[in-house]
Structure 1
Amino acid sequence: MAKPVPLSFPAMAAMGSVVLLLVVAKSPWRNRFHRINNVSPKADLAWRNAAEQWLENNRH
Structure 2
Amino acid sequence: MSLLLTRLFLLVMKPRPAEKERGDVPGWVLITVMTAGLVVAIWLVAEEQLKTMLEDALDSVTNK
Q: TM-score range by the shorter chain?
A: 0.3 to 0.5
Output the TM-score relative to the length of structure 1: 0.40
Q: Which has the higher helix share?
A: 2
Larger Rg: 1 or 2? Answer: 2
